[in-house]
Amino acid sequence: MKRIAIFASGNGSNAENVINYFQQHRCGGEVALVICNKPDAAVLDRAARLGVDAVVMPRAEINDPDRLLPVLDEYGVDVIVLAGFLLMVPGFLIERYRNRIVNIHPSLLPKYGGKGMYGSHIHEAVVAAGERETGITVHFVSEGCDEGEVIFQASVPVAGNDTPADVEAKIHELERLHFPRVIRETFID
């Protein structure tokens, strides 16, 4: 059984979707743990409701190998999934989990990636630029921000009258459709 830790910072709709998927498909993977840097994040309620352990670790603890790695070892974590995780991933974690950490980014990287490109900022920029399509990217996490090898992309049309909120809804639907399966195909199958 491959044991997955999800790192998240906020709402956690992707975390919930991934947890549900691996609870429903007995495919050799399971979400063992959620790590969250915000004590009041909704993802913590979602994890509790789904019976998955969650650990709150503020930024300083996540950046401290002596605090973070023992938690991952205690849970026997093989694979890390970033799902709406807003902190930079520390270098020691990338080294330890090289090619075993993926992130989902809500644009077609390399477009709309990098510093400052997170959450609604991305969808606002996509609409402001008059893009005709946007999408999602699942990629390995490397030292550069949003720069790791791309594993999977899916796109969706942007209509002329779409608001950033409309685009966000389309993106969430793409994420719901694809992200758990891509994790499974990358690490489990």
Task: Clarify whether 105 is annotated catalytic.
Answer: yes
Q: How far is the CB of 11 from ligand GRF (least distance, A)?
A: 4
Is residue 148 a contact point for ligand GRF (CB under 6 A)? no
Distance CA 40, CA 45 (A): 9
Kind plus residue range of the DSSP H or E element containing 182: helix 164-187
Is residue 89 a contact point for ligand GRF (CB under 6 A)? no
Is residue 135 a contact point for ligand GRF (CB under 6 A)? no
Which one-letter DSSP state was computed for residue 116? T
- Residues 30-69 as x/- pattern, contact with ligand GRF by CB under 6 A: ----------------------------------------
Is residue 113 a contact point for ligand GRF (CB under 6 A)? no
Strand order across the 150-157 sheet = 54-56, 29-36, 2-8, 79-82, 101-105, 133-140, 150-157
Is residue 146 a contact point for ligand GRF (CB under 6 A)? no
Distance CA 86, CA 76 (A): 24
The residues annotated as belonging to the active site are 105
Residues that bind ligand GRF (CB under 6 A): 8, 10-15, 83-84, 104-106, 171, 175
